[in-house]
Amino acid sequence: MASVRAGMATDPGRVRQVNEDRALAGPDLFAVADGMGGHAAGDVASSMAVDRLARLVRRPRLTPADVTAELAACNRDILAAAQPGTARAGMGTTVAGLVLVNVAGRQHWLVFNIGDSRVYRFVDGQLVRVTIDHSEVEELVASGAIAANEARSHPRRSVVTRVLGMNPPPEADVWLFPPTPGERFLICSDGLSSELDDPDIAAVLRAEPIAQAAADALVARAVAAGGRDNVTVVVVDHVVDTGSDLEEDTLRRPRNQVSVVVPGRPHSGEAA
């Protein structure tokens, strides 16, 4: 019998006083939103994003169109709340996530992102970044103007080109693929990827078999490496419980209810 288990953790880091990250875990939808640092009410925008996505959790037979429609609605909500001349003017948020959807009668993973929060897939000991950052440095790397190893220290590394809260509305990138038992996903704000490189991230995911332990270790390492931004991660494991004659690709809903991280201090919590 296959099941999904998740762990999540967050920390404001060593520099910022306010944690503008928010996270959502389960049962079938997992997401991280990073309110725009330096903009008014970034924590409000990220909360609006995860609250909107949480509406999808109890909806039966989700489709890719349901997810993209909810992201579009969230963009409209943020724009409506960010009226010029108010304290919330200019607020925005990135968002990245993983959700089980129904395509042609079968379950598929849908990965989505807007901005530079990321989704990684870890399987057979190998880490692959699924999402593509919507940022100036990613465009520079893609064009060959800078090398990939220069991106983390580039002065424009924090400039994103798509966020929720834009007009015209941003388009979410989406990927669809069938679930594979044994795979692991990592969803994170750029507070993780700006402090740890991919081999460091892979080493933690390889060393920590429990989702919550992996989430806690990743956040702790990012803070220890500098913690110059808020750090939030969700680790999602697609595991196979032995002793069952059910189809291997049948996913069981976790026992827990929806968990939403609203950070005011370091937090971790497991969904199983």
| Tens digits of pLDDT across the chain (272 residues) | 458 999 999 999 999 989 999 999 988 999 999 998 555 689 999 999 999 999 999 788 899 999 999 999 999 999 999 888 777 888 999 999 999 999 999 999 999 999 999 999 999 999 999 999 998 776 776 666 666 665 666 556 667 899 999 999 999 999 999 999 899 999 999 999 999 999 999 999 999 999 999 999 999 999 999 999 999 999 999 987 654 433 333 343 333 334 555 444 445 565 54
DSSP 101-155: EEETTEEEEEEEEESS-EEEEEETTEEEE-S---BHHHHHHHHTSS-GGGGGG-T
| Cα–chain center distance at 226 | 21
Nearest alpha carbon to residue 77 among 88, 66, 63: 88
How many other β-carbons are positioned within 10 Å of the β-carbon of residue 33? 34
Cβ distance 211 to 202 under 8 Å? Answer: no
Cis? peptide before 155, omega within 30° of 0 = no
Q: Is 218 exposed, middle or buried (0-12, 13-18, 19+ CB in 10 A)?
A: buried
Domains belonging to the chain, first-starting first, are 2-253 (3.60.40.10)
Give the residue from 7, 62, 3 showing the smallest Cα distance to 186. 7
Over residues 199-236, the pLDDT tens digits come to 999 999 999 999 999 999 999 999 999 999 999 999 99
The DSSP element (H or E) to which 182 belongs, if any, is none
Q: Which tokens go with 183?
A: 């795979």
Structure tokens at 172: 């979410």
Amino acid at 31: A
Residues 6+ apart with CB under 8 A from 48: 74, 77, 78, 81, 93
Residue 39 parent element (H or E):
none
Q: Give the model's pLDDT for residue 90.
A: 84
Q: What is the C-alpha to C-alpha distance for residues 117 and 134, in angstroms, rounded to an integer?
A: 9
Q: What pLDDT, on a 0 to 100 scale, did the predictor assign at position 242?
A: 53
Contact 98, 187 (CB under 8 A): yes
